[in-house]
Structure 1
């Protein structure tokens, strides 16, 4: 299976039209169709359902698309890494980040680093622990920031200097606003929003035997999306402080949980990872600044 064929497949999957894909790839339509047929023959599966003016991925095609996208990202990253091996002043570094106000510490370090190395190019993706560690394990990213303790058998890590405080984001006119902090009893029977990771780990530990009295109305990977549902009066969002705008004009209010619930953040990278020179230098600066 050649990378060129994989790129052809992804182009057709995106365009859902062989003619348009062929124009973008600067190949003839018969050539592209022949390559796709050869790919289907090699895998022994039908990847497309062909219609009069468009094509649609089969279930097998959808699976291949996900794998192919990761494969192309890894291939492109390998190419850029080798091109950067002799470039000690610039290059690309890839991060996968959980949501936290402490990401500002990382951003501040990158800003200072770029003053000395302006040719650094950094790439940011967001996600929960499962999403970013999957990319890290596949080599798609160099570093990940997690909101849970890392697996020390697989990763080196740095701990961010502070912890994120858990609380409830609610409409500013609801009755719970009158309380300085929110205990588990206050949440009984309420429609709650939370990330799946936070609900299964942090909130589960916090409420103990009362977990079955809490109702998860819906889960969100991004707290901002959850806050929009809160604004519509659909429920209450369990999240970190500082992620959501709760200023006087926002219509929302944050109240911390009691007893206090905090989560540490960790910057991780794979053991035995070989970095490009620019990534190695950035890591040394991160070690020094996060330790402080």
Structure 2
């Protein structure tokens, strides 16, 4: 598959009309139709169902659409990093979940942009499953993960910061009067749990024998909307500390769990990967920052 043909395919998949796609690509409609037909013949699958006025993506077409976006993004990133190999510029791409520990990384990124204005930073928010996939296919340079996860396939650097679990709630909730939240305080309460924590059974040991007496009403994968639910209802959110604005002007409060429950925060990258100049500079600065704070 040629990159040029993948571009043709993506334009056609977006427009779902061969004429409009040809106009967008500045090629003739017959030439575009031929390129798509040749691609289908090369792959041995039908990518589109052809109707008189529109196209419909097949399941194979939808799969190729997802993969083609990743392939072209990786090709463009590789090209930019090769062009910039003699100077400090290029693209730095980092994926992460939500964590206060990201502040250290964001501070370093701000300094890099200030020192090297040609550097472009791309931040991707997502849970571990998504960021690991993007790291493995090369569209991320680094992934920041929270929790004790198997890291044998990656290079890694653990940050000094740890995420602390607690309960986010309306400031009018009766539990807001407490300094910390114990398992028995959550019995028969409606709780929204982190999707990743739920999948890993993160709180079963913490709740102990009371686990079945807690009413888990659902899950969330990123914090913002969960915070809105806590603000506007009696539902409690199991969340990391310092993600929500809990100043006096806001309607949310956070109370840590007791006994305390914390998670390590680790930045990972692929084994035996030749990092770009900017990626290597970033990891060097991050390592130095950690060393300075742990002396």
TM-score (norm 2): 0.90
Q: Which residue of 2 aligns with 1:165?
A: 164
Whether contact under 8 Å (1:156, 1:269) holds in the other structure is: yes
Cα distance change on mapping 1:211 and 1:52 into 2, 3 Å: farther
Distance 1:273 1:211, change over 3 A: farther
Cα 1:56–1:232, aligned 2, differ >3 Å: closer, same or farther? farther
1:266 paired residue number? 266
Paired position in structure 1 for 2:60: 60
* Counterpart check, 1:242 vs 2:242: yes
In structure 2, the partner of 1:41 is: 41
Distance 1:41 1:185 in 2: 63
Deviation at 1:234, TM superposition (A): 6.3
Describe the superposition over 1:175-227 as per-residue Cα deviations: whole angstroms up to 9, x where unpaired: 22222222222223333222211223332343345433333322222111111
Counterparts of residues 83-98 of structure 1 (less than 5 Å): 83-87=83-87, 89-98=88-97
Displacement of 1:63 in angstroms is 1.7
Mapping 1:4-153, distance limit 5 Å: 4-87=4-87, 89-153=88-152
Rounded Cα–Cα distance in structure 2 between residues aligned with 1:86 and 1:197: 41
Q: Which residue of 2 aligns with 1:282?
A: 282
CA–CA separation in structure 2 for the residues paired with 1:203 and 1:19: 55
CA deviations 1:237-257 (Å, max 9, x no partner) are 111111122233322221111
Contact 2:169 2:234 in 1 (8 A): no
Deviation at 1:125, TM superposition (A): 0.5
Task: Give CA deviations for 1:136-186 in whole Å, capped at 9, x if unaligned.
Answer: 111111111000235342112111122111111112222222222222222
CA distance in 1, matches of 2:14, 2:230: 34
Structure 1 alignment gaps of length 5 or more = none
Task: Check conservation: 1:158, 1:290, Cα contact below 8 A.
Answer: no
Partners in 1 of 2:141 and 2:56 — Cα distance? 34
- For the residue of structure 2 that corresponds to 1:249, the secondary structure is coil
Q: How much has 1:51 moved relative to structure 2?
A: 4.0
| Compared CA separation, residues 4 and 272, structure 1 to 2 (3 A) | same
8 Å contact from structure 1 (residues 15, 21) kept in 2: yes
Question: d(CA) in 2 for partners of 1:213 and 1:50?
Answer: 55
> Would the aligned equivalents of 1:149 and 1:266 in 2 still touch at CA under 8 Å?
no
Q: Does the CA contact (< 8 Å) of 2:97 and 2:222 recur in 1?
A: no
Aligned equivalents of 1:51, 1:186: Cα separation in 2? 60
TM-score (norm 1): 0.91
Contact 1:40 / 1:46 at 8 angstroms: preserved in 2? yes
* Unmatched tracts of structure 2, length 5 or more: none
| 1:285 CA drift (Å) | 0.9
8 Å contact from structure 1 (residues 92, 123) kept in 2: yes
Q: Taking structure 1 as reference, are residues 80 and 253 closer, same or farther at Cα in structure 2, changes over 3 Å only?
A: same
Q: Secondary structure at the match of 1:105?
A: helix
Deviation at 1:105, TM superposition (A): 0.4
The answer to which of 19-28 and 37-46 deviates more is 37-46
**4+ residue stretches of structure 1 with deviation over 6 A?**
none
Does the 8 Å contact 2:170/2:234 carry over to 1?
no
Distance 2:250 2:17 in 1: 44
Q: Deviations over 1:35-64 (max 9, x none)?
A: 222222333333223444433322222222
SS at match of 2:20: helix
